[in-house]
Structure 1
Amino acid sequence: MSKLVAFAGIQGGYKVVSTAEGEFQKALETFDASSKIEFPNTGYYLPVIYSLTGMKVETLEDMKEPLEFARGLLPPHIKGKHHLPYLGPLLDAGMAAIFAYEIIEALRILREPDFYLPQEDPDIEAGKIWVGPADDVILRKRGVEFVDGSAPGFAAIVGSCPDPETAKMIVEDYQKKNLYIFCAANHNGTSVIEQLIEAGVQIGWNTRIVPFGPDISSAVFALGFANRAAMTFGGVQPGDYKKILRYNKDRVFAFVNAFGDIGTEWGVAAAGCVNWGFPTLADTDIPEILPTGICTYEHVVANVAHDEICQRSVEVRGLKVTVSEINIPCSFGPAFEGERVRGADLLCQMGGGKTQATELVKMAEMNEIEDGKVELIGPDVTDIEAGGTLPLGIFMQVAGREMQPDFEPILERQCHHLINYIQGVMHIGQRDIAWVRVSKGAMEKGFTLKDLGVVLHAKFHQDFGAILDKVQVTLYTNQEDVDKLTKKARAEYKFRDERVEKMTDEDVETFYSCTLCQSFAPNHVCSVSPERTGLCGAYNWMDCKASYEINPTGPNQPIEKGECIDPKLGQWKGVNEFVQKASRGAVTHYNFYSMVIDPMTTCGCCECIAAMLPSCNGVMTVSRDYTGETPCGMKFTTLAGVMGGGASSPGFVGHSKFNITQGKFIIGDGGLLRMVWMPKMLKEEIKERIDKRGKEMGCPDLYDMIADESVGITEEEILPFLQEKGHPALTMEPLVG
């Protein structure tokens, strides 16, 4: 590699570390040494430093140790005339700079706590476009997409393009490939993020275009996100730097795009990224590092044309991306799922309380439907004035030799995701409470309602080809037709719900596994039964059954229960044998119905985590969208960090929201009657089901007996409330012996 590259990079390392040291000294002059240092709402301290060294930076004074460590990493300056293997020293300088950048950003948050807007979407009207480091709620929510492959990797973009149109072209190309785009730094007074805003592109986590910050130092947030994924989902321990870096190279497929003039500070940041196996591709004429080594292929590639950089980046990183073209005029892909259609850009809407919008999938005989037939009966979006409304009925008829009526609701639920994948179209809800909003931009590209049918036909075949042979879609926009379809659909919904609700674990001899999260939590094996949905809330027993029918070698495998070892706690010989094999011997057994005795393992994707409250003789649960304190003394993020890497943790267990009111929920410990606290937002969300389950268990007033944060966030605060209400947990046998 070029001596010039090493010289510039190492010079940059010295400069960045010196800058961090200077800012640290200034901070000591302004703030007390005990001042709290943190990235908002994360249990990982300064995540790059913590993950690679194990150092917990909690106060300003704690920064001294990692700063000295970074200074110690800096290699001697390049002086000699003779050739040396420069890559090693350059990587050390890069890592030193990354540590320094993280400290610089932490000091910024200390000085200016409101500089970043810690939420998923920026507030552009208020001028708050930078969201800063992702909190742990976002990490866990978005981490699922890296687990299931819907997000194969991320592009870290620094600088700015020649013009907004070029920036939009490149970013949309990455979106079509389902990648996240993490943006930082500016060039010539602007950034890619500001160019995208000028071009009318929606930015934020929901569209996978993340505006981390305006300086090159904020690029460290992308590396922090990657390292937290390794610890959160992969169970890699803090300080095990070799596993952290190897994990990222092998599992988090990322790369850097550098747009604009690359100085020493950008150069050393690029060198730092190489430690993770993340290569850099630039649009300028910079010295290249082409031999393979740390990265899968080349390390630094220069002079890449803007219209080629997306494909070239994917090739250099060794990323396998599957993109299937859908014959509609708008761009299509999961990256557009979080896009909003707001009032100023609204062409028309259907449902959402304005009109009726209903979706129904029904199985048909092979000779009853015509594959690929998409018919619109009624007016189209082009036939009404801007801002208008239409009723909408989407009737999907499917046929196949392997199709079963049980699969209808699984297919029906795909409407939400697939319609949302259309750029400029927003879908909310399902069944008979759907809501579709179409943007003016979509119509300008040529969108019509028949495109909804085209998408559903194509994706049903792509995703469910093992069970489907024919798909026909009829769209209704006349009120009379929509009302007729809605009446038929509601009868179908009622039948399905009653059938699923009445299923029990005793009704079946086969459960299903879900090992989807093993790419991040290698020891975790989620077992799904009729009365225990998957921890993530996305898979129930019927979903797993359908998944197995569709993909017999996939992550959802049948588990023969076999001999029942413990009917109270929920343990079976066949399940134990499967779990031991699937976890490669790490887990020998667990119980379905207990959180006290050998509970099921938990991954980082769980919707909720339950914990014992010994003083109250009960349990609490907290959902990941609640960020406050809880009576067990830990926030959700801390709980997930403690037991979310695939471990069985007595006294704690991960579960879905729906599982709380299922018949077998911790029934071995007393069931739902043990529930003494949950966040108010979760409690209200499942109120009807709590009322129903409480009545079944002989406690019709259970909902009113469960405390929430308005009562207190410690056991001492909520115990008097429970005593006043006469909560049943207080008179049950001791939770622990």
Structure 2
Amino acid sequence: MSKLVSFAGIQGGYNIVSKAEGRYKMALESFDASTKVGFPNTAYYLPVIYSLLGHKVETLEDMQKPLEVARRLLPPHIKGANHLPYLGPLLDAGMAALFAFEIDEALRYLEDPDFYYVSEETDPENGKVWLGAAEDTIFRKRGVEFVDGSAPGFAAIVGAAPDPEIAKKIIEEYQKRSIYVFLAANQNGTSCAEQLIEAGVEIGWNTKIVPFGPDISSAIFALGFANRVAMAFGGVPAGDYKKILMYNKDRVFAFVNALGDVNAEWAAAAAGCVNWGFPTIADTDIPEILPTGICTYEHVIGNISHDDIVDKSVETRGLKVTISEIDIPCSFGPAYEGERVRGKDLFCQMGGGKTQCTEYLEMADMNDIEDGKVTVDGPDIGDLSRGDVLPLGIFVKVAGREFQKDFEPILERQTHHLINYIQGVMHAGQRDIAWVRVSDAAVDKGFTLKDLGVVLHAKLHQDFQAILDKIEVVIYTKQEDVDALTAKARAAYKYRDERVDQMTDEDVDTFYSCTLCQSFAPNHVCSVSPERTGLCGAYNWMDCKAAYQINPTGPNQPIEKGEVLDAKLGEFKGVNDFIYKASRGAVTKYNFYSMVHDPMTTCGCCECIAAMLPMCNGVMTVNREFSNETPCGMKFTTLAGVMGGGASSPGFVGHSKYNITQRKFILGDGGLLRMVWMPKMLKEELRERIEKRAAEMGHPDLFDKIADETVGLTEEEIYPWLEEKGHPALTMEPLVG
């Protein structure tokens, strides 16, 4: 190991800690020691310090202790002669620097609260480029991707490329591999984030290109994100630094790309990242640390060309990434799913209220379709002018020896994701309310509507090869053909919906498990029945049944419900036996239809969380998208942090949006009639279903009696309004007694 890299890294550690100490001292002169500090909307305090040291930094005074730890970690300076260039002291200096970085960024939030833009998307036109620390709502939604494999890892890029086109090329190579990109720091006043904006690349959480901040200190947000993954999804307790760091080495495949000259502070940051098992790959000729040890392979590699830096980074981190080559002119991959096609970039569109746009997948006889055949029946992109609209019908015919009609909706829903994977093409909605927008850039590359069929054929074959033998796609763009397909599709939709809606838990002897989230909530076992959809909203009973048939060893396993132990609360002996085994003895029983008595366990992926409101003798629920306080005194993020790790928490329960209007929703506690508050956005989204279910329960006016944030955000505020409206919960038997 080079003496030079040790000298630079340790000197950088001293510089960074000294700067943070000075800034902290100045802050104490301007603010009271009891002043609240922290990153916005998170239950993880300052996550690197909290996860590794167990210290909850909540006030300015609380910063003193981690700063003292950082100072103690700094090793002696490298001597001019007889130096000992061991890796350990360098790693300590790097860790000290990272603790100081987190203090420095927390002080920035205190002193300049508007410096970062609290959003999932940037707003470059108004100068809002830097997003800062991820809020828990973003973290919960995105962090799970590093557990379930949809995001193989992340590249933390510091500095800037020589020019915007090189920056764009590097980022697009990562996007093809579905790798997140976290951006921080600048090089001579220019940052990679600003280069990408100049090159016309959309950045933000929605495109998996996340600009954290303009300084090297903002790289700490990437490490904080990784440590939150270990705590929330890996179940590692705060303060267990060995397990936190090992989880990241083994489970979060991240690395650093240093673009531009590496100074002492950058060297300290790189040394700090090595503690996580995250290597640094640079484009300049820097001193290297090549032996394996803390990292899977090399620790620091320099002088890598921009053409090779992506492949070298993936190789050095030990990532296993598969690139699916799809024969279309545009780039393709999950990284483009969140991409927007805005008005100024729009060439043409289909659906979205402008025209009819319908997608339908149907099982066909093996002899009636030709595998790989894609037909465009009607005008295509080349027949249009900029700004034109078209009706669109996407008809996918599939056949397979193992395919069943029940699988149709599962595969049909893939249309949304797969079309969104095409760079420059945006898809929204589903069924007969779909919306497709095509950008100028996609058309310039040669995109046609036939490419939609090429993508669907290739990806459905890849993802469902066990059940599919043939796939044929027809794209309709003539109005009469689209209308005919829409009529056919709507009849099928109606049949599917009625079949699920009419099913009851009493109709079946088998429920299904979903243990996908056990990787980050080890004790959680989600059980799905006809009248209780999965709490993430992604699975209903029919989906689980079909998924089990597609993949018998997957996360959706059959549960023989067995003897009914409590019909009102929804307790079943077979379910209890299954969850006891699946939770490794941590959970002995739970009830399907109650949030008061032994409710089902909850993980952090739930769409909504319900909580008791004792004063109102009712319950409230809040959806993930609602970021304000709620009448139970907690935001969604706080609720998820408190009871979202796989616990059964009486008085609280996670659930899906759809579940709210299912017949068995907390029926053991009084059902939907107990609902006294929910966010207005959620209430309006479910209006028709709430009104229908309320009418079935004898209260057709219940919708207008449910309070929302326009009424109040505390029980004291909403109670008089509920009395005035005559909400039925107020006259029901006590919720707890």
Aligned partner of 2:315 in structure 1 is 315
Q: 1:556 and 1:80 mapped to 2: Cα distance?
A: 63
Opposite residue 4 of structure 2, the aligned amino acid is: L
Aligned partner of 1:235 in structure 2 is 235
Is the CA contact (8 Å cut-off) linking 1:590 and 1:599 kept in structure 2? yes
Opposite residue 294 of structure 1, the aligned amino acid is: I
Q: 1:678 and 1:354 mapped to 2: Cα distance?
A: 32
Secondary structure of 1:646's counterpart equals: strand
Aligned partner of 2:429 in structure 1 is 429
Aligned partner of 2:402 in structure 1 is 402
Q: 1:623 and 1:127 mapped to 2: Cα distance?
A: 30
Q: 2:613 and 2:86 mapped to 1: Cα distance?
A: 56
Q: How many residues align?
A: 737
Aligned partner of 1:727 in structure 2 is 727
1:300 lines up with 2:297 in the alignment: no
Aligned partner of 2:212 in structure 1 is 212
Is the CA contact (8 Å cut-off) linking 2:339 and 2:426 kept in structure 1? yes
Matches within 5 A, 1:26-45: 26-45=26-45
Is the CA contact (8 Å cut-off) linking 2:623 and 2:636 kept in structure 1? yes
Aligned partner of 2:147 in structure 1 is 147
Is the CA contact (8 Å cut-off) linking 1:233 and 1:644 kept in structure 2? no
Which one is further off, 273-282 or 237-246? 237-246
Q: Aligned-pair distance for 1:658? A: 0.8
Q: Aligned-pair distance for 1:575? A: 1.8
Is the CA contact (8 Å cut-off) linking 2:6 and 2:85 kept in structure 1? no
Q: 2:624 and 2:205 mapped to 1: Cα distance?
A: 17
Matches within 5 A, 1:345-364: 345-364=345-364
Deviation string 1:186-235 (CA, Å, 9 cap, x unpaired) is 11221111111111111111110001110000000111111122222233
Secondary structure of 2:206's counterpart equals: helix
Opposite residue 686 of structure 1, the aligned amino acid is: L
Is the CA contact (8 Å cut-off) linking 1:10 and 1:93 kept in structure 2? yes
Q: 1:147 and 1:691 mapped to 2: Cα distance?
A: 38
1:672 lines up with 2:689 in the alignment: no
Q: Aligned-pair distance for 1:401? A: 1.6
Is the CA contact (8 Å cut-off) linking 1:616 and 1:719 kept in structure 2? yes
Q: 2:295 and 2:563 mapped to 1: Cα distance?
A: 49
Q: Aligned-pair distance for 1:294? A: 1.6
Opposite residue 270 of structure 1, the aligned amino acid is: A
Secondary structure of 1:468's counterpart equals: coil
Secondary structure of 2:406's counterpart equals: helix
Q: 1:505 and 1:297 mapped to 2: Cα distance?
A: 53
Q: 2:502 and 2:426 mapped to 1: Cα distance?
A: 34
Is the CA contact (8 Å cut-off) linking 1:231 and 1:645 kept in structure 2? no
Aligned partner of 1:4 in structure 2 is 4
Aligned partner of 1:106 in structure 2 is 106
Matches within 5 A, 1:96-495: 96-495=96-495
Q: Aligned-pair distance for 1:29? A: 2.1
Opposite residue 541 of structure 2, the aligned amino acid is: W
Q: 2:84 and 2:615 mapped to 1: Cα distance?
A: 65
Q: 1:467 and 1:736 mapped to 2: Cα distance?
A: 49
Is the CA contact (8 Å cut-off) linking 2:512 and 2:529 kept in structure 1? yes
Q: 2:601 and 2:691 mapped to 1: Cα distance?
A: 29
Deviation string 1:653-679 (CA, Å, 9 cap, x unpaired) is 111111111111111211111111111
Q: 1:298 and 1:550 mapped to 2: Cα distance?
A: 41
Q: 2:694 and 2:81 mapped to 1: Cα distance?
A: 80
Is the CA contact (8 Å cut-off) linking 2:610 and 2:652 kept in structure 1? yes
Q: Aligned-pair distance for 1:85? A: 6.4
Q: 2:82 and 2:511 mapped to 1: Cα distance?
A: 66
Is the CA contact (8 Å cut-off) linking 1:157 and 1:181 kept in structure 2? yes
Q: 1:147 and 1:555 mapped to 2: Cα distance?
A: 14
Opposite residue 218 of structure 2, the aligned amino acid is: S
Aligned partner of 2:76 in structure 1 is 76
Aligned partner of 2:661 in structure 1 is 661
Which one is further off, 218-227 or 84-93? 84-93
Opposite residue 116 of structure 1, the aligned amino acid is: Y
Structure 1 gap segments, 5+ residues each? none
Aligned partner of 1:697 in structure 2 is 697
Q: 1:566 and 1:325 mapped to 2: Cα distance?
A: 53
Opposite residue 320 of structure 2, the aligned amino acid is: K
Matches within 5 A, 1:525-674: 525-674=525-674
Is the CA contact (8 Å cut-off) linking 2:2 and 2:85 kept in structure 1? no
Opposite residue 60 of structure 2, the aligned amino acid is: L
Extract structure 1 runs of 4+ deviating beyond 3 A: 80-85
Q: 1:569 and 1:81 mapped to 2: Cα distance?
A: 75
Secondary structure of 1:432's counterpart equals: helix
Aligned partner of 1:516 in structure 2 is 516
Deviation string 1:117-170 (CA, Å, 9 cap, x unpaired) is 110111111111111111111111212322332111111100111111111111
Q: 2:340 and 2:529 mapped to 1: Cα distance?
A: 36
Secondary structure of 2:433's counterpart equals: coil
Is the CA contact (8 Å cut-off) linking 2:592 and 2:599 kept in structure 1? yes
Q: Aligned-pair distance for 1:38? A: 2.1
Is the CA contact (8 Å cut-off) linking 1:53 and 1:241 kept in structure 2? yes
Q: Aligned-pair distance for 1:104? A: 0.9
Is the CA contact (8 Å cut-off) linking 1:465 and 1:550 kept in structure 2? no
Which one is further off, 371-380 or 4-13? 4-13
Q: 1:501 and 1:100 mapped to 2: Cα distance?
A: 56
Secondary structure of 1:230's counterpart equals: helix
Secondary structure of 1:125's counterpart equals: helix
Is the CA contact (8 Å cut-off) linking 1:425 and 1:438 kept in structure 2? yes
Deviation string 1:553-599 (CA, Å, 9 cap, x unpaired) is 11112222222222222222222222222222222222111111221
Is the CA contact (8 Å cut-off) linking 1:50 and 1:238 kept in structure 2? yes
Q: 1:324 and 1:512 mapped to 2: Cα distance?
A: 32
Secondary structure of 1:480's counterpart equals: helix
Is the CA contact (8 Å cut-off) linking 1:358 and 1:486 kept in structure 2? yes
Is the CA contact (8 Å cut-off) linking 1:609 and 1:652 kept in structure 2? yes
Structure 2 gap segments, 5+ residues each? none
Q: 2:684 and 2:229 mapped to 1: Cα distance?
A: 31
Q: Aligned-pair distance for 1:71? A: 1.1
Which one is further off, 531-540 or 230-239? 230-239
Q: 2:448 and 2:702 mapped to 1: Cα distance?
A: 49
Q: Would the alpha carbon gap of residues 591 and 85 (structure 1) be closer, same or farther in structure 2, given more than 3 Å must change?
A: farther
Deviation string 1:325-361 (CA, Å, 9 cap, x unpaired) is 1111111111000111111211111111111111111
Opposite residue 66 of structure 1, the aligned amino acid is: P
Q: Aligned-pair distance for 1:83? A: 5.9
TM-score computed with the length of structure 1 as normaliser = 0.98
Secondary structure of 2:610's counterpart equals: strand
Q: 1:343 and 1:700 mapped to 2: Cα distance?
A: 42
Opposite residue 728 of structure 1, the aligned amino acid is: P
Q: 2:731 and 2:530 mapped to 1: Cα distance?
A: 30
Q: Aligned-pair distance for 1:80? A: 7.1
Opposite residue 35 of structure 2, the aligned amino acid is: S
Q: 2:97 and 2:612 mapped to 1: Cα distance?
A: 43
Which one is further off, 343-352 or 509-518? 509-518
Opposite residue 60 of structure 1, the aligned amino acid is: L
Deviation string 1:609-632 (CA, Å, 9 cap, x unpaired) is 111111222111111111111111
Q: 1:251 and 1:569 mapped to 2: Cα distance?
A: 39
Which one is further off, 650-659 or 78-87? 78-87
Opposite residue 57 of structure 1, the aligned amino acid is: V
Q: 1:181 and 1:314 mapped to 2: Cα distance?
A: 13
Opposite residue 304 of structure 2, the aligned amino acid is: V
Q: 2:490 and 2:623 mapped to 1: Cα distance?
A: 30
Identity %: 79
Is the CA contact (8 Å cut-off) linking 2:147 and 2:251 kept in structure 1? no
Q: 2:466 and 2:386 mapped to 1: Cα distance?
A: 41
